[in-house]
Amino acid sequence: MSASRRILLVNGPNLNLLGLREPGIYGSATLADVERITAEAAAAHGYEIRAVQSNHEGVLLDTIHAAREDCAGVVINPGGLTHTSVALRDALTGVALPFAEVHISDVHAREEFRHHSYLSDVAAVCVIGRGVAGYAEATRALIGLLGAPRR
């Protein structure tokens, strides 16, 4: 599939534990559920998803760098890196792909250190506190900005 029809889905540290980790905050959906929900939202508009999850910042950076070759945009839940990683911000702005920042919980209603995001001010789309359904919402909004896939 051409780059104009692919979106990179990035899930950062600890998101592999969805469904197990703090279900009162993150719910019972798993990472596989998130990937399915996102892929379905993308497919409805002629896009496919390439999904990656890593607990290692360098893996995420390398994946984002590679996306400039074969993706039209990025949907990312950076997890805890949201609040700490200038390197992640630099990777996203460096590849010049529009991206959607997603958070399952309402980070602004949680601990104060979670209130600041290094990504929100450069993200094309931010979806916060909508549960895993927020991934589909972010994907649709990003695709709305990207437009119909080129043939």
Residue 114 annotated as part of some ligand binding site: yes
User: In this structure, what CATH number is given to the domain that contains residue 117?
Assistant: 3.40.50.9100
Interval 77-100 mean pLDDT: 95
Residue 83 annotated as part of some ligand binding site: yes
Lowest mean per-residue pLDDT among 14-18, 19-23, 82-86, 87-91: 19-23
Interval 20-26 mean pLDDT: 72
The per-residue pLDDT for range 119-144, each reduced to its tens digit, is 999 999 999 999 999 999 999 999 99
Residue pair 18/30 in contact (Cβ under 8 Å)? The answer is: yes
Q: Per the structure, how many domains does the chain have? A: 1
Pairing assessment for the beta strands 73-77 and 99-103 based on DSSP bridges: parallel
The domain containing residue 100 runs over which residues? 3-146
Residue 128 annotated as part of some ligand binding site: no
Residues taking part in catalysis: 26, 103
